[in-house]
Amino acid sequence: MALNKCLLLLRPRASGPCSVALRPSSFAIQRSLLAASSSRSTSSGSNGPFRAPDTSLFVPLEVKPAQGSDVNIGAELTQVLTKSNILTLLNKFYKRKEMQRLAAENGLDARLFHQAFVSFRKYVMESDSLSVDLHVILSDICCGAGHVDDLFPFFMRHAKQIFPMLDCMDDLRKISDLRLPPNWYPEARAIQRKIVFHAGPTNSGKTYHAIQRYLAAKSGVYCGPLKLLAHEIYQKTNDAGVPCDLVTGEELVFVDPEGRPANHAACTIEMCSVMTPYEVAVVDEVQMIKDPARGWAWTRALLGLCAEEIHVCGEAAAINLVTELMFTTGEEVEVRSYERLTPITVLDYALESLDNLRPGDCIVCFNKNDIYSVSRQIEARGIECAVIYGSLPPGTKLAQAKKFNDPDDPCKILVATDAIGMGLNLSIKRIIFNSLVKPSINEKGEKEIDTITTSQALQISGRAGRFSSVFKEGEVTTMHRDDLVLLKEILNRPIEPSKTVGLHPTSEQIEMFAYHLPDASLSNLIDIFVSLSQVDGLYFVCNVDDFKFLADMIQHIPLNLRSRYVFCTAPINKKQPFVCTSLLKFARQFSRNEPVTFDWLRRHTNWPLVPPKNIKDLVHLEAVHDVLDLYLWLSYRFMDMFPDANLVREIQKELDGIIQIGVHNITKLIRASETSAGLGAVAEDKDLPAHRTNGRTVNVEDLPTADLNASKPLSPRRRGSKVLGYRSVEPDHTKGPLATKLMQQGLLTEEMLNQLQREWLKNQIRNGSITGGNKRDHSDPKGNRKKK
């Protein structure tokens, strides 16, 4: 039987994709057995392999000295204590190595021992009257009838008052034990599910085949990573004559006029129900299960969906990981492999100049300022272009995509970020990478800038020459000639298999933590939870920095824990001050039990709004759209306190139209921004953004609020986008004081500096210093990428 679990059962190929039933490797079996054994040994007693908690997270509570007592019973029973004698005894106690060792055995390391002693000393010295037992002990020690070590029980009693977690550490460890996530979903464990993995590159038809099974089922749910994808499946399902509801974080749309749930639903992955039974579930883009921030949602869906069949779509690199994950639930994985439907070619030449653009070209940039710069230069040549980037509303993205796809529209060039990687159907002939470096957030929440991974490069390149577009063959190249070698190297690398999946503490777990630590802040509770959490080698705890940011921001507002938790999970961009301020005001209104009405929101956003006159206005409108999204998200969870969702949805559609006007005229907005900043002519080809491997390009949303709202010209000393009158933050080794001085003296030009940067990057690639960033995963904490 054990041998059978390690076999691959090959099924005969029928018409369509190749099918393989995968069972876990012997390594997976050994690891699971080891984890189960470890769990049993750990839960059996306090001597299990628990890691030591991070005591720097333990925030001491204040214990006020006893004041105002008219009768000092201890003094009446013994004697009045002299403060100087007490201080001598306490200091002697602190210096005793035996006491420090005994404290360590009771959970007080050197740091906590010192903090507890300082608090204990302050309490004893400043109290008008001590408890009778403590007073008697101190008196006995002063008289020579006791030993200073007799203070230890009283010291520990005080230590547990200021560090309440010491008294319940075993309970906290049990609550934060995350080693058996399959047990969190008993409804899913009660049925034997069939898991089908549709594996293949972009444009291979894998999602299409999964959706066909979904449409044929009596009931089904589609779980996708984006609202756009959920909307697309919602629309296609209803167009196919199958009633389907839409469930996203901001809206719940019932196709039935009386509000009865349909048998089919299309939802974003975070919103899928693990309680509703389905015949078929589709989990799309499963490779995102390793995402440092959102991976937990895919883990929850795979482990918790109550569906007879679960059809998983994604990269082949995730097959082994999903197989191992399903082994922990006792379920096998059938793999169906697909090949790309249309060919794609990596060209042997770079674009080099925007004069060489052709209809169907898409220039991919990795920051918004490069989008502005490139689009401005394209339209300066009399060529119209569409623009798509991540912070645009979904309606604006779809409008720009429609404009680009329309054969009768003169717009035949697209400038976009990697937001086109999924969720949009685009008729692209050629993908052109403007750069191959991209800012990212690693599993520790640190911002890094590195070359794009093979997975990212393939995802973006795969948008060219799609089967459903007018171009049946795709092409890929770069803007700069030196980048082409690196691009080919990245695309030719095998995708590193995924090895770990994400988890996130639930509200119930945090509530249990709060029961034991009622005085701790939510941010501190999360920190302690993550510090104590135990996971086996298959899992990692997702990054919680955004959650903690919001928790700290609203900490001063009186909210119950469940409501506070919900506010902290709001999907907002913390770089947008207006959105953060809005969340703060929403929470304050909520705490006062005052509904956030449509009129209140209109005043807050200064509605009605007008089309933007410059880039600053456009950025603000995008932020207002996000605030309306936030209102709708909260209305889904607190209907009584955010009662005007329908009215807000109407003005959001109107705002989407206003933003579309702004994006359609984006080059005029850029020109207006240049004029207001006192800039000269627009940059030419030689000023196209070069590689910034050890620096970063400053995005508009990264700029301080004061700068965005200032009416005076921006200071030329500030660094940022060329389009907005800023210079980009360059690495010290290429543009430090010496480089700046040489440029000022005319001995070094911007073009020469860019060339030096490209040569430096090329040497780094040749020497192996830059690896593309795809070699690291959550199980390899000693990766070689440097934090920037």
Distances (CA, A) of 501 to 22, 286, 325: 19, 10, 9
Find the domain containing 642 and state its range.
573-676
Q: Is the pLDDT of residue 12 over 50?
A: no
Q: Which residues contact 69 (CB under 8 A, 6 or more apart)?
A: 128, 129
Q: Do 313 and 375 fall within a single domain?
A: no
The single-letter DSSP state of residue 727 is B
Average pLDDT over residues 37-60: 58
CATH of the domain at 361: 3.40.50.300
DSSP β-bridge partners for residue 448: 440
Average pLDDT over residues 210-239: 96
The single-letter DSSP state of residue 20 is E
β-pair type (333-337, 18-22): antiparallel
Q: Do 198 and 152 fall within a single domain?
A: no
DSSP helix/strand/coil, 399: helix
Q: Do 311 and 186 fall within a single domain?
A: yes
User: Following DSSP, what letter does each residue of 369-385 receive, concatenated?
Assistant: HHHHHHHHHHHHTT--E
Which of 47-61, 187-201, 219-233, 597-611 shows the lowest mean pLDDT across its residues? 47-61
Residues 128 and 67 sit within 8 Å (Cβ to Cβ): yes
Give CA–CA dist 429/342, Å, rounded.
12
* Predicted confidence band of residue 344 (pLDDT cuts 50, 70, 90): very high
Average pLDDT over residues 30-37: 41
Q: Is the pLDDT of residue 90 over 90?
A: yes
Q: Do 481 and 378 fall within a single domain?
A: yes
Q: Do 596 and 620 fall within a single domain?
A: yes
Among candidate residues 358, 419, 354, the one with its CA nearest the CA of residue 381: 354
Q: Is the pLDDT of residue 440 over 80?
A: no
Note the pLDDT of residue 445: 57
DSSP β-bridge partners for residue 415: 363, 387
Note the pLDDT of residue 672: 81
Residues 17 and 198 sit within 8 Å (Cβ to Cβ): yes
Q: Do 186 and 307 fall within a single domain?
A: yes
Q: Is the pLDDT of residue 41 over 70?
A: no
Looking at the domain assignment, is residue 641 inside a domain? yes
Among candidate residues 449, 385, 386, 397, the one with its CA nearest the CA of residue 423: 397
Question: Which of 492, 518, 552 is the last residue before a domain boundary?
Answer: 492
Q: Is the pLDDT of residue 766 over 80?
A: no
Could you give the number of structural domains in the chain?
4
User: Is the dihedral angle over the CA atoms 105, 108, 110, 116 positive or is it negative?
Assistant: negative
Helical (H) or strand (E) element with 414? strand 413-416
Looking at the domain assignment, is residue 651 inside a domain? yes
- SS3 assignment for 627-695: HHHHHHHHHHHCCCCCCCHHHHHHHHHHHHHHHHHHHHCHHHHHHHHHHHCCCCCCCCHHHCCCCCCCC
Give CA–CA dist 638/635, Å, rounded.
5
DSSP helix/strand/coil, 85: helix
Angle made by CA atoms 330, 336, 341, in degrees to the nearest 5: 155
Q: Tokens for 630?
A: 């936030």
Q: Do 355 and 488 fall within a single domain?
A: yes
Amino acid at 776: R
Q: Is the pLDDT of residue 541 over 80?
A: yes
Helical (H) or strand (E) element with 386? strand 385-388
Where is pLDDT greater, at 155 or 80? 155
Where is pLDDT greater, at 532 or 33? 532
Looking at the domain assignment, is residue 585 inside a domain? yes
Q: Tokens for 552?
A: 């700290």
Which tens digits make up the pLDDT trace of 450-489?
899 999 999 999 999 887 778 889 999 999 999 999 999 9
Residues 516 and 15 sit within 8 Å (Cβ to Cβ): no
Question: Which of 104, 132, 166 is the last residue before a domain boundary?
Answer: 166
CATH of the domain at 141: 1.10.1740.140
Q: Do 281 and 375 fall within a single domain?
A: no
Q: Which residues contact 762 (CB under 8 A, 6 or more apart)?
A: 482, 485, 486
Question: Which of 676, 711, 738 is the last residue before a domain boundary?
Answer: 676
Residues 93 and 116 sit within 8 Å (Cβ to Cβ): no
Note the pLDDT of residue 69: 63
Neighbour-count burial of 183, counting CB atoms closer than 10 A to its CB (0-12 exposed, 13-18 middle, 19+ buried): exposed
Q: Do 287 and 371 fall within a single domain?
A: no
Note the pLDDT of residue 81: 84
Q: Do 196 and 330 fall within a single domain?
A: yes
User: Following DSSP, what letter does each residue of 462-527 receive, concatenated?
Assistant: TTBT-TTSS-SSEEEEESSHHHHHHHHHHHHSPPPPP--EEE---HHHHHHHHHH-TTS-HHHHHH
CATH of the domain at 586: 1.20.58.1080
Looking at the domain assignment, is residue 723 inside a domain? no
Note the pLDDT of residue 80: 80
Residues 368 and 496 sit within 8 Å (Cβ to Cβ): no
Q: Do 333 and 197 fall within a single domain?
A: yes
Looking at the domain assignment, is residue 639 inside a domain? yes
Amino acid at 168: C
Residues 300 and 505 sit within 8 Å (Cβ to Cβ): no
Amino acid at 296: W
Among candidate residues 328, 312, 106, 304, the one with its CA nearest the CA of residue 224: 312
Among candidate residues 97, 94, 144, the one with its CA nearest the CA of residue 121: 94
Q: How many helices (H) and strands (E) does the chain have?
A: 30, 20
User: Is the dihedral angle over the CA atoms 591, 578, 272, 547 positive or is it negative?
Assistant: negative
Is the previous residue joined to 12 through a cis bond, with omega within 30 degrees of 0?
no
Angle between helices 26-43 and 319-327 in degrees, nearest 10: 40
Q: Which residues contact 386 (CB under 8 A, 6 or more apart)?
A: 400, 401, 403, 404, 411, 413, 414, 415
Which of 16-20, 65-69, 130-134 shows the lowest mean pLDDT across its residues? 16-20
Note the pLDDT of residue 19: 54
Query: For tokens 């000639």, what's the residue?
Result: 481
Among candidate residues 163, 653, 72, 640, the one with its CA nearest the CA of residue 396: 653
Residues 724 and 677 sit within 8 Å (Cβ to Cβ): yes
Looking at the domain assignment, is residue 144 inside a domain? yes
* Predicted confidence band of residue 676 (pLDDT cuts 50, 70, 90): low
Residues 211 and 266 sit within 8 Å (Cβ to Cβ): no
Q: Using a pLDDT cut of 90, give the percent of the chain over it.
A: 61
Distances (CA, A) of 687 to 461, 559, 588, 681, 722: 25, 51, 47, 12, 9
Q: Using a pLDDT cut of 70, give the percent of the chain over it.
A: 77
Q: Do 159 and 193 fall within a single domain?
A: no
Give CA–CA dist 559/35, Å, rounded.
39
Query: For tokens 């889904």, what's the residue?
Result: 636
Q: Which residues contact 43 (CB under 8 A, 6 or more apart)?
A: 174, 177
Residues 455 and 314 sit within 8 Å (Cβ to Cβ): no
Looking at the domain assignment, is residue 269 inside a domain? yes
Please state, rounded to an integer, the average pLDDT across all residues of the chain: 82
Looking at the domain assignment, is residue 536 inside a domain? no
Amino acid at 537: G
Residues 135 and 82 sit within 8 Å (Cβ to Cβ): no
* Predicted confidence band of residue 37 (pLDDT cuts 50, 70, 90): very low
Q: Tokens for 623?
A: 């932020």
Helices (H), 176-283: 186-189, 206-216, 227-239
The single-letter DSSP state of residue 425 is -
DSSP helix/strand/coil, 224: strand
Give CA–CA dist 190/206, Å, rounded.
29
Which of 40-49, 428-437, 461-470 shows the lowest mean pLDDT across its residues? 40-49
End-to-end CA distance of the chain: 51
Torsion region of 259: left, alpha or beta (phi above 0 gives left; psi -120 to 50 gives alpha) = left
Q: Tokens for 393?
A: 């509303």
Give CA–CA dist 256/261, Å, rounded.
7
Which tens digits make up the pLDDT trace of 346-385?
999 999 999 999 999 999 999 888 999 999 999 999 999 9
Q: Is the pLDDT of residue 660 over 50?
A: yes
Which tens digits make up the pLDDT trace of 720-738?
333 333 333 333 434 455 6
Q: Which residues contact 154 (CB under 8 A, 6 or more apart)?
A: 120, 133, 134, 137
